[in-house]
Amino acid sequence: MKKVELLIERLLLGCRWLLVVFYVGLGLGLGAYGVSFIAKVYDLWSHLFTLSDKQLLLGMLALIDATLVAGLTVMVMIAGYENFVSRFDEAESGAGKDLVWLGKLDTGGLKLKLAGAIVAISSISLLEVFLNLEKYSEWEVRWSALTFLTFVVSAVLLGVLERLPVIWKGDTHK
C-alpha cells in the first residue's frame, strides 16, 4: 500500500509540470501583446502632430494600460512558476544576485500585487471613460465607476484578509 501511495504522490507532484504549458503560453501571448504595443506606439507617433492634447493623453493612457497588463503577465508567469513548478536556479542561469527577489513573492503577495495592478488598470479605463463622456451613456459611466469601486474594495479586503493572521498572532512588525 505504501508503494501505491508513493506512486500517487509522485504523479501528483509531477503534474505541476503541466503548468509550464500555461506559463509558456502566457509568454507567447506577451510576445503578441508586445507586437500590438509597438503598433500602438507607431500609430501614436504617426499622428502625433494631428492629435489634440486629449487624444494624445488617451493614446498615452492606452500605452500605460498595456504596460501594466504586460507587467502583470510577467509577474504571474515568474511567480507562478517559482511557487508552483520549480525554483529558478540562480547559478545555472547566470543571474546570481539579480534573482534574489524571486523567492519573496509568495501566493499571498502575488494576489495583492495582482489586485493592485487590476485597480491601476481599471482606474485608467475609468479615466478614459471620463475623458470621453460624450461617447458613453450615463448608465455606462455609472457602471464603469461601480466596477472600479468594486475592484478597489476587493483589493482593500484582500489586503486586510492577508494581514489578519499577522494581527491575530500579535506580530505587527511583519
Q: What is the pLDDT of residues 70-79, one digit of tens each?
A: 988 988 898 8
- Lookup result for grid cell 483589493: 155
Q: Average pLDDT in the 131-150 region?
A: 92
How many CA atoms within 13 Å lie on the side-chain side of 25?
Answer: 5
Distance (Å, whole) CA 7 – CA 86: 20
How distant is the alpha carbon of residue 108 from its chain centre? Answer: 13
pLDDT of 142 above 60: yes
**Residue 93 confidence (pLDDT):** 57
Distance (Å, whole) CA 55 – CA 34: 22
Q: Which comes out higher in pLDDT, residue 109 or 99?
A: 109
Residue 155, exposed/middle/buried by CB under 10 A (0-12, 13-18, 19+)? buried
Q: Average pLDDT in the 44-55 region?
A: 91
Cell of 24: 509558456
Confidence category of residue 104, pLDDT binned at 50, 70, 90:
low
Q: What is the pLDDT of residues 7-27, one digit of tens each?
A: 899 998 888 899 999 999 999
Q: Average pLDDT in the 100-110 region?
A: 67
